Structure 1
Amino acid sequence: MFGALSRHFVGQRLSGEGHGTLAVNVLGSFVLGALTAGLTSDPTLLALVGTGFCGAFTTFSSFAFETVRLFERGKRRKAVANATINLVGALVAVGFGVLTASTISL
């Protein structure tokens, strides 16, 4: 529930064609990368934050819908850019999350 509320808050602050969705997907990917790289080894915390918060915070279906909607409206370049930035951004964010977690000693 907290993840979904956070996603709604970000979406309200970043209006525009997919900006909120991009932000939550990249930020959620960073958090998940950091968690799974060893920021915590507690399986309960991993499930709670990783599956619970990140699962409710990020939204692949909204990303897909927004990309298709851009194509349907004839904004093909924006659609391709949206798809590329979301996918590459999420992958890079996971990498930075892993890197960040590996430099933090808890």
Structure 2
Amino acid sequence: MKNILLVFLGGGLGSIFRYLISKFLNSTDLNIPWGTFAVNIIGSFLIGLFIGSAIKHNNLGTPLYILLATGFCGGFTTFSTFSFENQALFKSGDFLNFIIYAFGSLFLGIIAAAIGLYCSKLT
């Protein structure tokens, strides 16, 4: 029950931060949803950092790991919104922004996670 509450708390906080960032960055007139893009890249970096640190210190499954990696990052990032926004760009015929957003998010997300893992080795 404790772990469920930690996921609930972390997920709630992550969702609040995602909402605030998306509200601010998605309010621009540009076609690419920069808020979703930003939270997914930041979240990829953070989960790399949290998992790398947990592995380094043998803390996988601890309350802090569950709160931050599972809860916060799970609530902060959003694959469902990313998927919906991509299909909307594709459906509207905005193929250039679809390609930039879809492949840019995937490529930079993987790079950000790798950088997070690398940074966790430095601590």
Of 23, 33, 41, which residue of structure 1 is paired with 2:48? 33
Structure 1 distance, partners of 2:70, 2:78, is 12
Q: Which residue of 2 aligns with 1:4?
A: 15
Of 71, 86, 111, which residue of structure 2 is paired with 1:92? 111
Q: Runs ≥4 in structure 1, deviation > 2 angstroms?
A: none
Of 8, 18, 24, which residue of structure 2 is paired with 1:13? 24
Structure 2 distance, partners of 1:50, 1:8, is 18
Identity among equivalent positions (%) equals 33
- Per mean C-alpha deviation after superposition, the further-off stretch among 60-69 and 16-25 is 16-25
Q: CA deviation at 1:12?
A: 1.4
Look up the equivalent residue of 1:67 and give its one-letter code: N
What root-mean-square deviation, in Å, do the aligned CA atoms of Structure 1 and Structure 2 show?
1.3
- Per mean C-alpha deviation after superposition, the further-off stretch among 63-72 and 16-25 is 16-25
Q: CA deviation at 1:80?
A: 1.2
Q: CA deviation at 1:88?
A: 0.6
Structure 2: state its 5+ residue gaps: 1-11
Structure 2 distance, partners of 1:14, 1:38, is 30
Q: Secondary structure at the match of 1:74?
A: coil
Structure 1: state its 5+ residue gaps: none
Q: Which residue of 2 aligns with 1:71?
A: 90
Structure 2 distance, partners of 1:73, 1:28, is 28
Q: CA deviation at 1:81?
A: 1.1
- For the pair shown, the structure with the greater C-alpha radius of gyration is 2
